[in-house]
Amino acid sequence: MDNPRTQAREAARLIRQGLTQLGHCYQTRDGGLVEVSFASVQFVEDAYALVEVDTRRLPPRVTISKLVHPDTLHHLTAVVGKPVKRLNTTGLTYCVALKAQKKQRLPKMIELDLSHRPTGDYVIGFGLSREGEVWKPLEKLRHIVVAGSTDSGKSAFLRSLLYQLLKQSLPVELYLTDMEGLTFAAFEGVPQLAHPIAESVEDATQIAFQLTQEMERRAALYQATGRFPEKLSEYNSQISNLHSPFSILPWIVAVFDEFTALIEEAGKSSDLYRLIGQLAMRGRKYGITLVFAGQDFKADLLNTRITNQLRTRVQFACATAYQSQVVLGKSGAEKITTPGRALISFGGKITEVQTFWVEKERVLGLRRGPVSPLSAEERVLVHHALEELGGKFNIHDLAEAFKGRISQRRIEQLSRQWEARGWLVAGPTRADGKRITAELVNLAEGRKGNMPTQEQLDRPFHWAQDRMMRLDPGSDEFKRLMLKIAEDSDHPNDVAIARILRRKLREESEDSDGA
């Protein structure tokens, strides 16, 4: 293949020839020929030839409007054998796409390589297109729809998306919904999972509710800055610049796999559908990205409130041109035969992409250490009972503490199950209620070492002291624990230690006052 400079010169020669054929030239009386001349011929990125017409020295009776007429461009395209367009600049420059003719083939499989990731916050790689790898910042994508028939590559794509989110250094929280319980199993136990993976309409509704509440919380925090941030990156940079007492907020990504099936089951008058509508409409401003995956999206399923916000649409292979039309506004995906191949619309501009492949093993490598067999919900209950209730699994107190997040019925159910498994034991008297066992705590922590023994658990305040010794005496948690010991314990050791610690605290605060 000729080098681009030669190709560009050849294109310029053919353009002049084509224009002369059309009569865009001037015949002098003595039989000489004045053709259109060029001010410059350049090439860009080996892909385009830019041929600038010298408009100040056009042959007599040749006008710019003749040179840019669609019929002229059409003729030039035929003569050059490559698309010839007018560049949108002042003057007149023809642009020839040099590479358009050799249609590069996309590979059947391309492994995600994070070393290619461009710098920037929350940048996500989609895959390889004919123009190169496609990487986009989450903030630009708004909400995402992922459609395709069975085995087309939806779940693999979601896996790659989540993997990438977990492999960057900024904070992120994940909320996952998966009716079949298969897609995200590998993500169970990653610390960024903010809620147990939802496998039912009720669980999904709970997630959607929690997210709307988080949205309200963020709205209040935004307002508290007094600076009207418009998006999460703005809020976070204001927070860091202002030395604010509030902390940076993580980006939230909520993925609903099998969304079509989920809504079919829940119905369109459900709380779930209503809450998702609210999240779709307002969530983006607060750093909440929703991802909806499913097999066949009906035109009416994504109601307008959601549709308007779905700027990124990934359509894998599908059965009918109609399906492709519903998602992309354009047919074409029905012709796809390769798994992982998709047509992706970014705000209306459609690109064909072989999406990045991420092996399951890479995802499994994300988990550090052994994983707790308990769900995140079960773990927080155990933690709360241990840290706040002195080891008592008190249903009423727990229900109160997790109001709106975990129902009393669920806590009662767990209490019965765990007692039967020997993870909760009845205290000496009825009033003592059930207590958590060391085995349960160890299961909740999912790791060994530094865990309380049964003896420590039976004397919870010694366990608390142990913790205190490892805490920063200036921290709130330290003060809270200390108060608890002073108030609740009548063990002489606890009282003595509390007294010492309190004195230490007082001295410290006097020191800092005096300084």
Ligand X SMILES: Nc1ncnc2c1ncn2[C@@H]1O[C@H](COP(=O)(O)OP(=O)(O)OP(=O)(O)O)[C@@H](O)[C@H]1O
Parallel, antiparallel, or unpaired for β 172-178 and 144-147? unpaired
Give bridge partners of residue 315 from the DSSP assignment. Answer: 147, 343
Q: What contacts 411, CB < 8 A, 6 or more positions away?
A: 381, 395, 398, 399, 402
Token digits of residue 467: 């913790």
- Pick from 72, 93, 155, 465 the residue near ligand X by CB under 6 A: 155
CB count in 10 Å sphere of residue 358: 21
Side-chain-side CA neighbours of 309 within 13 Å: the count stands at 22
Size of the site for Mg ion (CB under 5 A): 2
Q: Which is nearer to ligand X, 163 or 357 (CB)?
A: 357
Q: Which is nearer to Mg ion, 295 or 324 (CB)?
A: 295
Per CB under 5 A, which region of 105-113, 152-160, 211-219, 394-402 contacts Mg ion?
Answer: 152-160
Per CB under 6 A, which region of 153-161, 243-251, 415-423, 476-484 contacts ligand X?
Answer: 153-161
Least Å distance between CB 104 and ligand X? Answer: 18
Size of the site for ligand X (CB under 6 A): 14
Q: Which is nearer to Mg ion, 155 or 489 (CB)?
A: 155
154 in contact with ligand X (CB under 6 A): yes
152 in contact with ligand X (CB under 6 A): yes
Least Å distance between CB 156 and Mg ion? Answer: 8
Residue 213 and residue 219: Cα distance in Å, rounded?
A: 10
Per CB under 5 A, which region of 59-67, 154-162, 221-229, 319-327 contacts Mg ion?
Answer: 154-162
Residues 328-387 that bind ligand X (CB under 6 A): 339-340, 355, 357
Give bridge partners of residue 254 from the DSSP assignment. Answer: 175, 290
- Pick from 131, 151, 477, 510 the residue near ligand X by CB under 6 A: 151
- Phi and psi at residue 349, in whole multiples of 5°? -90, 120
Closest residue by Cα to residue 81 from 34, 52, 49, 58: 49
260 in contact with Mg ion (CB under 5 A): no
Least Å distance between CB 131 and ligand X? Answer: 18
Per CB under 5 A, which region of 15-23, 146-154, 227-235, 361-369 contacts Mg ion?
Answer: 146-154
Q: Which is nearer to ligand X, 172 or 179 (CB)?
A: 179
Parallel, antiparallel, or unpaired for β 93-97 and 341-346? unpaired
Least Å distance between CB 108 and ligand X? Answer: 7
Least Å distance between CB 352 and Mg ion? Answer: 21
Least Å distance between CB 309 and Mg ion? Answer: 23
Least Å distance between CB 44 and ligand X? Answer: 31
How many residues belong to the chain? Answer: 515
Q: Which is nearer to ligand X, 358 or 481 (CB)?
A: 358
Cβ atoms 53, 36 nearer than 8 A:
yes
315 in contact with ligand X (CB under 6 A): no
DSSP states along 394-425:
-HHHHHHHTTTTS-HHHHHHHHHHHHHTTSEE
Site map for ligand X, 220-259, x if CB under 6 A? ----------------------------------------
Q: Which is nearer to Mg ion, 155 or 260 (CB)?
A: 155
Q: Which is nearer to ligand X, 53 or 358 (CB)?
A: 358
Closest residue by Cα to residue 161 from 107, 232, 231, 112: 112
- Pick from 124, 156, 193, 326 the residue near ligand X by CB under 6 A: 156
Per CB under 6 A, which region of 66-74, 154-162, 168-176, 220-228 contacts ligand X?
Answer: 154-162
Cα distances (angstroms) measured from residue 454 to each of 451, 459, 460, 466: 10, 9, 10, 14
155 in contact with Mg ion (CB under 5 A): yes
153 in contact with ligand X (CB under 6 A): yes
- Pick from 90, 150, 450, 512 the residue near ligand X by CB under 6 A: 150
Site map for ligand X, 120-149, x if CB under 6 A? ----------------------------x-
Least Å distance between CB 257 and ligand X? Answer: 8
* Chosen from Mg ion, ligand X, none, partner binding at 152 (C-beta under 5 to 8 Å by type): ligand X
Residue 120 and residue 180: Cα distance in Å, rounded?
A: 34
Report the greatest alpha carbon distance in the chain: 121
Q: What contacts 104, CB < 8 A, 6 or more positions away?
A: 130
Residue 358 and residue 110: Cα distance in Å, rounded?
A: 9
* Chosen from ligand X, Mg ion, none, partner binding at 295 (C-beta under 5 to 8 Å by type): ligand X
DSSP states along 104-150:
PPPPS-EE--GGGPPSSTTEEEEEEETTEEEEEEHHHH-SEEEE-ST
Least Å distance between CB 321 and ligand X? Answer: 19
Q: Which is nearer to ligand X, 295 or 372 (CB)?
A: 295
Structure-token match 């989450």, residue found: 138
Cα distances (angstroms) measured from residue 496 to each of 465, 478, 487, 501, 503: 11, 16, 12, 9, 11
Give the gyration radius of the chain's Cα atoms: 32
Residues that bind ligand X (CB under 6 A): 109, 148, 150-156, 295, 339-340, 355, 357
Residues that bind Mg ion (CB under 5 A): 154-155
